[in-house]
Amino acid sequence: MSTILTTENLSLYYGKKQALKGVNMSFDEKGITALIGPSGCGKSTFLRCLNRMNDLIPNVTITGEVNFNQSNIYAPTMDTVKLRKEIGMVFQQPNPFPFSIYENVVYGLRLAGVRDKEQLDAAVEKSLKQAAIWDEVKDRLHVNALSLSGGQQQRVCIARVLAVEPDIILLDEATSALDPISSHTIEMTLLNLRHDYTIITVTHNMQQASRISDRTAFFLNGELIEVNDTKQIFMNPVKQETNDYISGRFG
Amino acid sequence: MRRLFDDELNDIDANFTEMGMMVSATIEKAVKAFIDHDRELAQEIIDNDAKINEREVELEQKSFEMIALYQPVTSDLREIVTILKAVSELERMADYARNIAHATIRVKGHVRVPEIEAQLSEMGNRVRKMVEEMLAAYVKSDDAAARAVAAKDAKVGEMFDKINEKGISKMERHPETVIGSTDYLNVASYLMRIGALVTNVGEWIVYLNTGNIIELNPESSNLV
Protein backbone atom coordinates (compact mmCIF):
# COMPACT_ATOMS: atom_id res chain seq x y z
CA MET A 1 0.00 0.00 0.00
CA SER A 2 1.30 3.44 -0.79
CA THR A 3 1.30 6.46 1.45
CA ILE A 4 -1.10 9.18 0.40
CA LEU A 5 -0.73 11.71 3.21
CA THR A 6 1.90 12.48 5.82
CA THR A 7 2.32 15.14 8.45
CA GLU A 8 5.78 16.13 9.54
CA ASN A 9 6.36 17.86 12.83
CA LEU A 10 2.96 19.53 12.49
CA SER A 11 2.28 22.14 15.15
CA LEU A 12 -0.55 24.62 15.45
CA TYR A 13 -0.94 27.62 17.71
CA TYR A 14 -4.13 29.50 18.52
CA GLY A 15 -2.42 32.80 19.33
CA LYS A 16 0.21 31.72 21.82
CA LYS A 17 -1.50 28.54 22.91
CA GLN A 18 -0.03 25.48 21.28
CA ALA A 19 -2.83 23.09 20.30
CA LEU A 20 -0.79 20.60 18.26
CA LYS A 21 2.70 19.59 19.26
CA GLY A 22 4.82 18.28 16.43
CA VAL A 23 2.58 15.52 15.12
CA ASN A 24 4.18 13.01 12.75
CA MET A 25 1.71 10.69 11.14
CA SER A 26 1.27 8.95 7.84
CA PHE A 27 -1.78 7.58 6.10
CA ASP A 28 -1.83 4.79 3.57
CA GLU A 29 -4.30 4.76 0.71
CA LYS A 30 -7.76 3.38 1.48
CA GLY A 31 -9.15 2.24 4.82
CA ILE A 32 -10.46 4.09 7.84
CA THR A 33 -8.35 5.77 10.48
CA ALA A 34 -10.12 6.92 13.65
CA LEU A 35 -8.73 9.81 15.70
CA ILE A 36 -9.75 9.60 19.34
CA GLY A 37 -8.97 11.49 22.51
CA PRO A 38 -10.64 13.68 25.13
CA SER A 39 -12.08 17.11 24.30
CA GLY A 40 -9.35 19.62 23.60
CA CYS A 41 -6.74 16.97 22.77
CA GLY A 42 -6.20 18.38 19.28
CA LYS A 43 -7.77 15.64 17.17
CA SER A 44 -10.24 17.94 15.39
CA THR A 45 -7.60 20.62 15.03
CA PHE A 46 -5.33 18.01 13.45
CA LEU A 47 -8.10 16.85 11.09
CA ARG A 48 -8.80 20.42 10.01
CA CYS A 49 -5.13 20.95 9.21
CA LEU A 50 -5.34 18.18 6.63
CA ASN A 51 -7.36 20.28 4.18
CA ARG A 52 -6.45 23.71 5.53
CA MET A 53 -9.76 24.38 7.21
CA ASN A 54 -7.87 26.14 9.99
CA ASP A 55 -6.84 28.84 7.50
CA LEU A 56 -10.22 30.39 8.08
CA ILE A 57 -9.60 30.92 11.79
CA PRO A 58 -7.86 34.20 12.66
CA ASN A 59 -4.68 34.21 14.72
CA VAL A 60 -3.71 30.64 13.85
CA THR A 61 -0.08 29.75 13.17
CA ILE A 62 0.87 26.44 11.63
CA THR A 63 4.39 25.02 11.40
CA GLY A 64 5.62 21.78 9.92
CA GLU A 65 4.36 20.09 6.79
CA VAL A 66 1.34 18.23 5.50
CA ASN A 67 2.30 16.33 2.37
CA PHE A 68 -0.48 15.12 0.14
CA ASN A 69 0.82 12.94 -2.67
CA GLN A 70 4.30 14.22 -1.92
CA SER A 71 3.52 17.94 -2.09
CA ASN A 72 3.19 20.25 0.88
CA ILE A 73 -0.37 21.55 1.04
CA TYR A 74 0.85 24.62 2.93
CA ALA A 75 3.08 25.65 0.02
CA PRO A 76 2.09 29.12 -1.27
CA THR A 77 1.27 27.69 -4.70
CA MET A 78 -1.39 25.33 -3.35
CA ASP A 79 -4.89 25.96 -4.68
CA THR A 80 -7.10 25.42 -1.62
CA VAL A 81 -10.31 25.00 -3.64
CA LYS A 82 -8.71 22.19 -5.59
CA LEU A 83 -7.22 20.78 -2.39
CA ARG A 84 -10.61 20.61 -0.66
CA LYS A 85 -12.02 18.82 -3.67
CA GLU A 86 -9.35 16.16 -3.30
CA ILE A 87 -9.60 16.11 0.48
CA GLY A 88 -13.28 16.55 1.32
CA MET A 89 -14.84 17.07 4.71
CA VAL A 90 -18.08 16.08 6.42
CA PHE A 91 -18.99 17.98 9.58
CA GLN A 92 -20.74 17.18 12.85
CA GLN A 93 -23.96 18.99 11.98
CA PRO A 94 -25.42 18.01 8.62
CA ASN A 95 -25.06 21.19 6.56
CA PRO A 96 -26.86 20.76 3.25
CA PHE A 97 -27.31 23.94 1.21
CA PRO A 98 -30.89 25.20 1.22
CA PHE A 99 -31.66 23.89 -2.24
CA SER A 100 -32.63 20.58 -3.82
CA ILE A 101 -30.92 17.26 -3.13
CA TYR A 102 -29.81 17.23 -6.75
CA GLU A 103 -28.28 20.69 -6.59
CA ASN A 104 -26.54 19.88 -3.33
CA VAL A 105 -24.80 16.90 -4.87
CA VAL A 106 -23.73 18.63 -8.09
CA TYR A 107 -22.62 21.82 -6.33
CA GLY A 108 -18.93 21.02 -6.50
CA LEU A 109 -19.14 19.86 -10.10
CA ARG A 110 -20.94 23.05 -11.19
CA LEU A 111 -18.28 25.03 -9.37
CA ALA A 112 -15.72 23.15 -11.43
CA GLY A 113 -17.60 24.14 -14.59
CA VAL A 114 -19.32 20.89 -15.47
CA ARG A 115 -22.44 21.70 -17.54
CA ASP A 116 -23.27 18.42 -19.25
CA LYS A 117 -26.64 17.25 -17.92
CA GLU A 118 -25.95 13.57 -18.51
CA GLN A 119 -22.67 13.81 -16.67
CA LEU A 120 -24.32 15.59 -13.75
CA ASP A 121 -27.19 13.07 -13.62
CA ALA A 122 -24.73 10.18 -13.61
CA ALA A 123 -22.69 11.78 -10.82
CA VAL A 124 -25.82 12.33 -8.71
CA GLU A 125 -26.91 8.72 -9.04
CA LYS A 126 -23.45 7.32 -8.42
CA SER A 127 -22.73 9.52 -5.39
CA LEU A 128 -26.12 9.00 -3.77
CA LYS A 129 -25.76 5.25 -4.26
CA GLN A 130 -22.29 5.30 -2.71
CA ALA A 131 -23.66 7.27 0.22
CA ALA A 132 -26.41 4.65 0.58
CA ILE A 133 -29.28 7.09 0.20
CA TRP A 134 -30.23 6.70 -3.47
CA ASP A 135 -33.14 4.33 -2.83
CA GLU A 136 -34.64 6.70 -0.27
CA VAL A 137 -34.51 9.86 -2.40
CA LYS A 138 -34.38 8.79 -6.04
CA ASP A 139 -38.01 9.79 -6.63
CA ARG A 140 -37.67 13.21 -5.06
CA LEU A 141 -34.30 14.52 -6.12
CA HIS A 142 -35.72 17.99 -6.55
CA VAL A 143 -37.16 18.48 -3.07
CA ASN A 144 -35.29 20.73 -0.68
CA ALA A 145 -32.52 18.81 1.08
CA LEU A 146 -33.47 20.49 4.34
CA SER A 147 -36.76 18.55 4.34
CA LEU A 148 -34.85 15.29 4.90
CA SER A 149 -34.15 13.77 8.29
CA GLY A 150 -30.80 14.49 9.98
CA GLY A 151 -29.37 11.11 9.03
CA GLN A 152 -30.48 11.53 5.43
CA GLN A 153 -29.09 15.07 5.28
CA GLN A 154 -25.74 13.77 6.51
CA ARG A 155 -25.67 11.12 3.81
CA VAL A 156 -26.50 13.78 1.20
CA CYS A 157 -23.51 15.75 2.56
CA ILE A 158 -21.37 12.64 2.13
CA ALA A 159 -22.70 12.28 -1.44
CA ARG A 160 -21.82 15.93 -2.06
CA VAL A 161 -18.24 15.19 -1.05
CA LEU A 162 -18.14 12.00 -3.13
CA ALA A 163 -19.47 13.72 -6.26
CA VAL A 164 -16.19 15.53 -6.83
CA GLU A 165 -14.32 12.22 -6.50
CA PRO A 166 -11.95 13.06 -3.66
CA ASP A 167 -9.02 10.89 -2.62
CA ILE A 168 -9.50 11.48 1.07
CA ILE A 169 -12.64 12.03 3.12
CA LEU A 170 -12.34 13.71 6.50
CA LEU A 171 -15.20 13.29 8.96
CA ASP A 172 -15.42 15.50 12.02
CA GLU A 173 -17.72 13.65 14.42
CA ALA A 174 -20.04 13.06 11.51
CA THR A 175 -22.47 10.84 13.40
CA SER A 176 -22.52 12.43 16.84
CA ALA A 177 -25.64 14.49 16.08
CA LEU A 178 -27.51 11.47 14.75
CA ASP A 179 -29.69 8.79 16.32
CA PRO A 180 -28.26 5.23 16.60
CA ILE A 181 -30.04 3.93 13.51
CA SER A 182 -28.86 6.79 11.29
CA SER A 183 -25.36 6.42 12.78
CA HIS A 184 -25.45 2.75 11.91
CA THR A 185 -26.44 3.53 8.31
CA ILE A 186 -23.55 6.00 8.01
CA GLU A 187 -21.16 3.45 9.53
CA MET A 188 -22.24 0.88 6.95
CA THR A 189 -21.75 3.50 4.24
CA LEU A 190 -18.22 4.21 5.46
CA LEU A 191 -17.41 0.51 5.60
CA ASN A 192 -18.28 0.28 1.90
CA LEU A 193 -16.40 3.46 1.02
CA ARG A 194 -13.23 2.36 2.80
CA HIS A 195 -12.38 0.07 -0.14
CA ASP A 196 -12.12 3.06 -2.49
CA TYR A 197 -11.29 6.03 -0.32
CA THR A 198 -8.91 7.04 2.43
CA ILE A 199 -11.17 7.96 5.33
CA ILE A 200 -10.05 9.81 8.43
CA THR A 201 -12.66 10.25 11.13
CA VAL A 202 -12.70 12.06 14.43
CA THR A 203 -15.07 10.45 16.89
CA HIS A 204 -16.00 10.59 20.54
CA ASN A 205 -17.77 7.29 20.18
CA MET A 206 -15.18 4.72 21.16
CA GLN A 207 -17.36 1.80 20.11
CA GLN A 208 -17.73 3.37 16.70
CA ALA A 209 -13.96 3.66 16.38
CA SER A 210 -13.53 0.03 17.35
CA ARG A 211 -16.32 -1.14 15.04
CA ILE A 212 -15.38 0.55 11.81
CA SER A 213 -11.77 1.71 11.79
CA ASP A 214 -8.73 -0.16 10.59
CA ARG A 215 -6.36 2.06 12.51
CA THR A 216 -6.82 4.18 15.59
CA ALA A 217 -4.77 7.17 16.70
CA PHE A 218 -4.96 8.43 20.27
CA PHE A 219 -4.31 12.14 20.92
CA LEU A 220 -3.76 13.80 24.28
CA ASN A 221 -2.84 17.41 25.03
CA GLY A 222 -1.98 18.12 21.42
CA GLU A 223 0.28 15.12 21.07
CA LEU A 224 -0.13 11.93 19.13
CA ILE A 225 0.34 9.35 21.90
CA GLU A 226 -0.12 6.15 19.96
CA VAL A 227 -1.28 4.95 16.57
CA ASN A 228 -1.73 1.30 15.67
CA ASP A 229 -4.11 -1.28 14.28
CA THR A 230 -7.49 -0.74 15.93
CA LYS A 231 -7.51 -4.26 17.35
CA GLN A 232 -4.18 -3.66 19.00
CA ILE A 233 -5.28 -0.31 20.46
CA PHE A 234 -8.48 -1.75 21.92
CA MET A 235 -7.04 -5.01 23.17
CA ASN A 236 -3.47 -4.33 24.15
CA PRO A 237 -2.29 -0.74 23.73
CA VAL A 238 1.36 0.01 24.36
CA LYS A 239 0.92 3.28 26.26
CA GLN A 240 -0.66 3.51 29.69
CA GLU A 241 -2.45 6.76 28.75
CA THR A 242 -4.16 5.01 25.85
CA ASN A 243 -5.26 2.18 28.11
CA ASP A 244 -6.59 4.58 30.72
CA TYR A 245 -8.50 6.70 28.20
CA ILE A 246 -10.21 3.97 26.24
CA SER A 247 -11.17 2.05 29.35
CA GLY A 248 -12.79 5.22 30.73
CA ARG A 249 -10.36 6.03 33.52
CA PHE A 250 -10.25 9.64 32.40
CA GLY A 251 -11.58 11.84 29.61
CA MET B 1 -11.05 8.66 38.00
CA ARG B 2 -12.96 6.17 40.13
CA ARG B 3 -15.17 3.95 38.09
CA LEU B 4 -18.20 1.87 39.07
CA PHE B 5 -16.60 -0.81 36.95
CA ASP B 6 -13.61 -0.98 39.32
CA ASP B 7 -15.83 -1.64 42.33
CA GLU B 8 -17.60 -4.45 40.53
CA LEU B 9 -14.31 -5.80 39.24
CA ASN B 10 -12.98 -5.91 42.80
CA ASP B 11 -16.06 -7.82 43.91
CA ILE B 12 -15.85 -10.39 41.17
CA ASP B 13 -12.12 -10.71 41.75
CA ALA B 14 -12.64 -11.38 45.46
CA ASN B 15 -15.36 -13.92 44.69
CA PHE B 16 -13.08 -15.71 42.28
CA THR B 17 -10.27 -15.91 44.83
CA GLU B 18 -12.72 -17.13 47.45
CA MET B 19 -13.94 -19.86 45.13
CA GLY B 20 -10.30 -20.81 44.49
CA MET B 21 -9.74 -21.23 48.23
CA MET B 22 -12.86 -23.37 48.48
CA VAL B 23 -11.54 -25.59 45.70
CA SER B 24 -8.10 -25.79 47.26
CA ALA B 25 -9.61 -26.80 50.62
CA THR B 26 -11.77 -29.39 48.86
CA ILE B 27 -8.75 -30.97 47.20
CA GLU B 28 -6.94 -31.10 50.53
CA LYS B 29 -9.94 -32.74 52.20
CA ALA B 30 -10.39 -35.18 49.32
CA VAL B 31 -6.82 -36.45 49.58
CA LYS B 32 -7.04 -36.62 53.36
CA ALA B 33 -10.34 -38.51 53.29
CA PHE B 34 -8.93 -40.96 50.78
CA ILE B 35 -5.82 -41.67 52.84
CA ASP B 36 -7.77 -41.85 56.11
CA HIS B 37 -10.60 -43.86 54.59
CA ASP B 38 -12.91 -41.25 55.96
CA ARG B 39 -16.20 -41.88 54.21
CA GLU B 40 -18.02 -39.18 56.11
CA LEU B 41 -15.61 -36.50 54.96
CA ALA B 42 -15.81 -37.91 51.44
CA GLN B 43 -19.60 -37.63 51.51
CA GLU B 44 -19.29 -34.04 52.70
CA ILE B 45 -17.12 -33.26 49.66
CA ILE B 46 -19.65 -34.83 47.32
CA ASP B 47 -22.49 -32.88 48.91
CA ASN B 48 -20.50 -29.68 48.78
CA ASP B 49 -19.73 -29.92 45.07
CA ALA B 50 -23.05 -28.32 44.10
CA LYS B 51 -22.03 -25.18 46.02
CA ILE B 52 -18.84 -24.87 44.00
CA ASN B 53 -20.80 -25.31 40.80
CA GLU B 54 -23.17 -22.56 41.91
CA ARG B 55 -20.21 -20.27 42.51
CA GLU B 56 -19.02 -20.90 39.00
CA VAL B 57 -22.41 -20.02 37.52
CA GLU B 58 -22.63 -16.85 39.64
CA LEU B 59 -19.22 -15.70 38.49
CA GLU B 60 -20.07 -16.45 34.87
CA GLN B 61 -23.34 -14.53 35.08
CA LYS B 62 -21.63 -11.58 36.71
CA SER B 63 -18.94 -11.59 33.99
CA PHE B 64 -21.54 -11.63 31.20
CA GLU B 65 -23.38 -8.80 32.89
CA MET B 66 -20.23 -6.69 33.17
CA ILE B 67 -19.36 -7.30 29.53
CA ALA B 68 -22.86 -6.27 28.45
CA LEU B 69 -23.15 -3.21 30.68
CA TYR B 70 -19.61 -1.79 30.57
CA GLN B 71 -18.21 -3.06 27.27
CA PRO B 72 -14.74 -3.38 28.78
CA VAL B 73 -11.62 -3.09 26.60
CA THR B 74 -7.88 -3.67 27.05
CA SER B 75 -6.82 -4.78 30.55
CA ASP B 76 -10.42 -4.58 31.82
CA LEU B 77 -11.53 -7.03 29.17
CA ARG B 78 -8.58 -9.32 29.89
CA GLU B 79 -9.46 -9.43 33.60
CA ILE B 80 -13.02 -10.49 32.87
CA VAL B 81 -11.93 -13.04 30.27
CA THR B 82 -9.34 -14.44 32.68
CA ILE B 83 -11.94 -14.93 35.40
CA LEU B 84 -14.42 -16.41 32.93
CA LYS B 85 -11.90 -18.96 31.68
CA ALA B 86 -10.14 -19.71 34.96
CA VAL B 87 -13.40 -20.22 36.84
CA SER B 88 -14.13 -23.23 34.61
CA GLU B 89 -10.71 -24.65 35.42
CA LEU B 90 -11.44 -24.29 39.14
CA GLU B 91 -14.80 -25.97 38.77
CA ARG B 92 -13.22 -28.90 36.97
CA MET B 93 -10.58 -29.22 39.70
CA ALA B 94 -13.42 -29.54 42.20
CA ASP B 95 -15.00 -32.22 40.01
CA TYR B 96 -11.80 -34.27 40.21
CA ALA B 97 -11.75 -33.81 44.00
CA ARG B 98 -15.32 -35.13 44.01
CA ASN B 99 -14.19 -38.13 41.93
CA ILE B 100 -11.52 -38.82 44.56
CA ALA B 101 -14.26 -38.69 47.23
CA HIS B 102 -16.29 -41.24 45.27
CA ALA B 103 -13.23 -43.50 45.13
CA THR B 104 -12.86 -43.12 48.90
CA ILE B 105 -16.35 -44.44 49.42
CA ARG B 106 -15.73 -47.35 47.05
CA VAL B 107 -12.29 -48.32 48.36
CA LYS B 108 -13.53 -49.07 51.88
CA GLY B 109 -12.99 -52.71 52.71
CA HIS B 110 -10.57 -53.44 49.90
CA VAL B 111 -7.03 -54.62 50.53
CA ARG B 112 -4.81 -51.57 51.09
CA VAL B 113 -1.28 -50.81 49.99
CA PRO B 114 0.22 -48.36 52.52
CA GLU B 115 3.22 -47.59 50.32
CA ILE B 116 1.06 -46.34 47.45
CA GLU B 117 -1.17 -44.44 49.84
CA ALA B 118 1.87 -42.59 51.17
CA GLN B 119 2.87 -41.67 47.66
CA LEU B 120 -0.64 -40.49 46.84
CA SER B 121 -0.63 -38.36 49.96
CA GLU B 122 2.61 -36.73 48.86
CA MET B 123 1.30 -36.18 45.34
CA GLY B 124 -1.95 -34.73 46.70
CA ASN B 125 -0.10 -32.28 48.92
CA ARG B 126 2.05 -31.16 46.06
CA VAL B 127 -0.95 -30.55 43.80
CA ARG B 128 -2.88 -28.70 46.49
CA LYS B 129 0.14 -26.50 47.11
CA MET B 130 0.30 -25.72 43.41
CA VAL B 131 -3.36 -24.67 43.49
CA GLU B 132 -2.66 -22.31 46.37
CA GLU B 133 0.45 -20.86 44.82
CA MET B 134 -1.34 -20.31 41.53
CA LEU B 135 -4.13 -18.45 43.32
CA ALA B 136 -1.53 -16.28 45.01
CA ALA B 137 -0.01 -15.58 41.56
CA TYR B 138 -3.48 -14.59 40.34
CA VAL B 139 -4.08 -12.26 43.27
CA LYS B 140 -0.76 -10.54 42.57
CA SER B 141 -1.21 -10.71 38.77
CA ASP B 142 2.27 -12.16 38.69
CA ASP B 143 2.86 -14.04 35.46
CA ALA B 144 6.44 -14.94 36.42
CA ALA B 145 5.10 -16.68 39.54
CA ALA B 146 2.44 -18.39 37.41
CA ARG B 147 5.14 -19.76 35.11
CA ALA B 148 7.16 -20.96 38.12
CA VAL B 149 4.16 -22.83 39.55
CA ALA B 150 3.34 -24.41 36.19
CA ALA B 151 6.93 -25.63 35.97
CA LYS B 152 6.31 -27.72 39.09
CA ASP B 153 3.80 -29.81 37.18
CA ALA B 154 6.53 -31.96 35.61
CA LYS B 155 7.26 -33.46 39.03
CA VAL B 156 3.56 -34.32 39.41
CA GLY B 157 3.80 -36.26 36.15
CA GLU B 158 6.77 -38.20 37.51
CA MET B 159 4.89 -39.00 40.71
CA PHE B 160 2.00 -40.29 38.64
CA ASP B 161 4.33 -42.56 36.66
CA LYS B 162 5.79 -44.03 39.85
CA ILE B 163 2.39 -44.74 41.39
CA ASN B 164 1.22 -46.22 38.12
CA GLU B 165 4.23 -48.50 37.91
CA LYS B 166 3.94 -49.60 41.50
CA GLY B 167 0.19 -50.18 41.29
CA ILE B 168 0.50 -52.36 38.24
CA SER B 169 3.32 -54.46 39.68
CA LYS B 170 1.28 -54.85 42.86
CA MET B 171 -1.71 -56.06 40.90
CA GLU B 172 0.44 -58.56 39.02
CA ARG B 173 1.91 -60.03 42.16
CA HIS B 174 -1.09 -59.74 44.50
CA PRO B 175 -4.35 -60.17 42.60
CA GLU B 176 -6.34 -59.45 45.77
CA THR B 177 -5.25 -55.81 45.52
CA VAL B 178 -6.59 -55.35 41.98
CA ILE B 179 -9.82 -53.56 42.90
CA GLY B 180 -8.17 -51.26 45.45
CA SER B 181 -5.17 -50.53 43.25
CA THR B 182 -7.37 -49.59 40.31
CA ASP B 183 -8.76 -46.80 42.46
CA TYR B 184 -5.23 -45.78 43.46
CA LEU B 185 -4.43 -45.35 39.79
CA ASN B 186 -7.65 -43.43 39.25
CA VAL B 187 -6.90 -41.08 42.13
CA ALA B 188 -3.36 -40.52 40.84
CA SER B 189 -4.73 -39.62 37.43
CA TYR B 190 -7.30 -37.22 38.96
CA LEU B 191 -4.48 -35.48 40.83
CA MET B 192 -2.42 -35.28 37.68
CA ARG B 193 -5.36 -33.70 35.86
CA ILE B 194 -5.78 -31.14 38.62
CA GLY B 195 -2.11 -30.28 38.09
CA ALA B 196 -2.75 -29.72 34.39
CA LEU B 197 -5.75 -27.49 35.21
CA VAL B 198 -3.52 -25.44 37.55
CA THR B 199 -1.23 -24.93 34.55
CA ASN B 200 -4.21 -23.72 32.51
CA VAL B 201 -4.99 -21.11 35.17
CA GLY B 202 -1.35 -20.03 34.89
CA GLU B 203 -1.79 -19.57 31.16
CA TRP B 204 -4.71 -17.21 31.81
CA ILE B 205 -2.60 -15.22 34.27
CA VAL B 206 0.00 -14.80 31.51
CA TYR B 207 -2.80 -13.68 29.17
CA LEU B 208 -4.04 -11.22 31.79
CA ASN B 209 -0.65 -9.54 31.96
CA THR B 210 0.56 -9.77 28.39
CA GLY B 211 -2.45 -10.38 26.12
CA ASN B 212 -0.70 -13.47 24.73
CA ILE B 213 -2.36 -16.87 24.71
CA ILE B 214 0.38 -19.43 25.30
CA GLU B 215 0.86 -23.00 26.48
CA LEU B 216 2.98 -23.33 29.59
CA ASN B 217 3.45 -27.10 29.45
CA PRO B 218 2.83 -28.11 25.84
CA GLU B 219 3.75 -31.74 26.52
CA SER B 220 1.05 -32.17 29.18
CA SER B 221 -1.72 -30.16 27.53
CA ASN B 222 -3.38 -33.32 26.22
CA LEU B 223 -4.03 -34.55 29.74
CA VAL B 224 -7.17 -32.53 30.30
A48-89, pLDDT tens digit by residue? Answer: 999 999 988 999 999 999 999 989 999 999 999 899 999 999
Q: What pLDDT tens digit does each residue of chain B (224 aa) get? A: 678 899 999 999 999 999 999 999 999 999 999 999 999 999 999 999 999 999 999 999 999 999 998 899 999 999 999 999 999 999 999 999 999 999 999 876 778 889 999 999 999 999 999 999 999 999 999 999 999 999 999 999 999 999 999 999 999 999 888 888 899 999 999 999 999 999 999 999 999 999 999 999 887 655 55
Q: What pLDDT tens digit does each residue of chain A (251 aa) get? A: 799 999 999 999 999 999 999 999 999 999 999 999 999 999 999 999 999 999 889 999 999 999 999 899 999 999 998 999 999 999 999 999 999 999 999 999 999 899 999 999 999 999 999 999 999 999 999 999 999 999 999 999 999 999 999 999 999 999 998 889 989 999 999 999 999 999 999 999 999 999 999 999 999 999 999 999 999 999 999 999 999 999 988 86
Of B1, B3, B74, the CB nearest to A236: B74
Q: Does B221 touch chain A (CB under 8 A)?
A: no
Instruction: State pTM to two decimals.
Output: 0.84
Distance, CA of A172 to chain centre:
6
In this predicted complex, what is the ipTM? 0.71
What is the edge-to-edge ordering of all strands in the sheet holding A223-229? A87-90, A168-172, A198-202, A31-36, A215-220, A223-229
Q: Does B46 touch chain A (CB under 8 A)?
A: no
**Cβ contact (<8 Å) for A235 and B72?**
no
**B chain contacts of residue A234, beta-carbon cutoff 8 Å:** 73-74
Q: Does B4 touch chain A (CB under 8 A)?
A: no
Q: Does B5 touch chain A (CB under 8 A)?
A: yes
